[in-house]
């Protein structure tokens, strides 16, 4: 029960702090769920995040799996509801009154000012997942080299070609299976 | 109150339309799927209405796709429409994630599976890096923006400054530096 309330608190807060889309809350989510609450290990967090990128639908639905690891079925439902409901309520309410501040000049300032912060948070998100998925001190240099090359290859391919990222995730899995077995 | 004409649109039909996106949108890019469905296919919204909804969705906290679904659903059938739209978008992916999660729990100690998952996780980092670099291209090229990008990154990733602190202390500075009248008019 205490765990469920904690899940509710953590994901409600993350919901309302999720500026500029979902990825900006990744570092905070990793800090809360791995370092503070120990619901998942860093490696599980990175894996769960990557499963979330493979599934269809909004890419942060992976919070369901963190809730599930923390407290079973009830944890799953509470994590999902807590992560999606508060921001949805806010949007629902604000969409009524939006016209009032639609032409307010501060709205442009808000967007311009927040843009670099969102990008900085997303970079920190890359770091939060990458520090176990790519540069993992518990792994061999050989292992880390392969994971880093895989990640950078995906980045490069996506810049060069329009290709469905889900296919590249599968490609990464195939590369991992082929190159990382036994390491 | 939602517009009267849209009351005729059934909640089940709204759920179906969004669930179709929820099932098929492998690899992300949900906003494009939503636009195709709402504006082109079903003609439930005009292009302008969609862009207005997207702007609200991007400004407020929460995922852009879910926020757009909430606004579109509300416009079509009030609170239940919003609920049907968002849950249609979210639930199919959650079901698949649950299956993946069960498989993960069962097989993660299998060396073959662990190796494959390590590859998938690495690929996901590459994807997030690409998305960040792509949508941040403009910010990386502007010196003041770049300072905020790197400052935020450093504070959060290495000093473990929490997100609320960043949003309530750093963000106001950034916003005030972009205050009305300070910005160059858009070209």
CA–CA separation, B136 vs B157, rounded Å? 18
Instruction: Choose, out of A65, A88, A181, the residue to mutate when testing the contact with B (most B CBs < 10 Å).
Output: A88
Mean pLDDT of B78-106: 95
pLDDT at position A160 over 90: yes
Domain count within chain B: 2
Looking at CA atoms only, how far is residue A14 from chain B in angstroms?
9
Do residues B97 and B16 both lie within one domain?
A: yes
In A4-42, which positions are buried (b, 16+ CB within 10 angstroms) versus exposed (e)? Answer: bebbbebbbbbbbbbbbbbbbbbbbbbbbbbeeeebbeb
CA gyration radius, chain A: 18
Please give the share of chain A, as a percent, with pLDDT higher than 90.
Answer: 81
Q: Are residues B141 and B104 in the same domain?
A: no
Position B8 scores a pLDDT of 58
Closest by CA position to B85, among listed B27, B9, B28, B4: B9
pTM beyond 0.95: the answer is no
Band (B183; pLDDT cuts 50, 70, 90)? low
Same domain, B147 and B103: no
Decide: A61 and B94 in contact? Cβ < 8 Å. Answer: yes
Boundary-marking domain end, from B93, B109, B125: B109
Of B21, B56, B145, Cβ closest to residue A94: B56
Are A75 and A84 contacting, i.e. CB atoms less than 8 angstroms apart? no
Q: Does any domain span residue B114?
A: no
Let me know whether B96 and B167 are in one domain: no
| Closest CA of chain A from B23, distance in Å | 6
Instruction: Report the pLDDT averaged over residues A141-146.
Output: 95
Residue B120 is assigned to a structural domain of this protein:
no
The answer as to whether B131 is a domain residue is: no
Q: Are residues B45 and B90 in the same domain?
A: yes
Domain membership of residue B150 (yes or no) is: yes
Same-domain pairing of B91 and B142: no
Tell me the residue range of the domain where B8 lies.
4-109
Last residue of a domain, one of B58, B74, B109: B109
Smallest CA–CA distance from B57 into chain A, residue: A91
The DSSP H or E segment spanning B7 is none
Is A54 in contact with B139 (Cβ distance < 8 A)?
no
Of A17, A26, A58, the CB nearest to B90: A58
């Amino acid at each position: 029960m205490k765990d469920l309330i904690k899940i509710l608190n953590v994901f409600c807060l993350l919901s309302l702090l999720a500026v500029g889309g979902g990825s900006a809350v990744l570092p905070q989510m990793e800090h809360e769920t791995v370092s503070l609450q120990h619901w998942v290990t860093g490696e599980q967090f990175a894996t769960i995040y990557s499963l979330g990128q493979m599934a269809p639908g909004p890419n942060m639905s992976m919070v369901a799996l963190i809730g599930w690891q923390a407290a079973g079925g009830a944890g799953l439902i509470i994590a999902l509801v807590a992560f999606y409901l508060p921001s949805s309520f806010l949007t629902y309410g604000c969409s009524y009154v939006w016209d009032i501040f639609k032409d307010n000049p501060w709205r442009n300032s808000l967007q311009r000012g927040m843009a670099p912060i969102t990008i900085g948070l997303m970079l920190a998100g890359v770091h939060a997942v990458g520090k176990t998925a790519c540069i993992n001190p518990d792994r061999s240099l050989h292992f880390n080299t392969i994971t880093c090359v895989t990640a950078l290859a995906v980045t490069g391919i996506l810049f060069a070609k329009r290709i469905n990222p889900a296919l590249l995730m599968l490609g990464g899995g195939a590369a991992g299976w082929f190159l990382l077995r036994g390491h | 109150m939602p517009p009267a004409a849209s009351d005729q649109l059934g909640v089940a039909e709204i759920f179906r339309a969004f669930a179709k996106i929820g099932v098929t949108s492998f690899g992300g890019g949900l906003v494009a799927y939503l636009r195709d469905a709402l504006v082109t296919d079903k003609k439930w919204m005009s292009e302008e209405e969609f862009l207005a909804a997207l702007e609200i969705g991007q400004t407020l906290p929460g995922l852009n796709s879910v926020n757009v679904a909430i606004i579109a659903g509300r416009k079509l059938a009030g609170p239940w429409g919003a609920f049907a739209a968002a849950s249609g978008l979210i639930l199919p992916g959650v079901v698949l994630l649950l299956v993946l999660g069960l498989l993960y729990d069962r097989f993660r100690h299998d060396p073959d599976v662990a190796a494959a998952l390590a590859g998938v996780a690495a690929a996901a980092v590459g994807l997030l890096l690409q998305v960040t670099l792509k949508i941040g291209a403009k910010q990386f090229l502007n010196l003041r923006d770049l300072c905020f990008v790197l400052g935020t990154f450093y504070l959060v990733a290495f000093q473990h400054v929490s997100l609320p602190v960043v949003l309530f202390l750093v963000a106001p500075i950034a916003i005030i530096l972009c205050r009305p009248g300070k910005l160059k008019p858009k070209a």
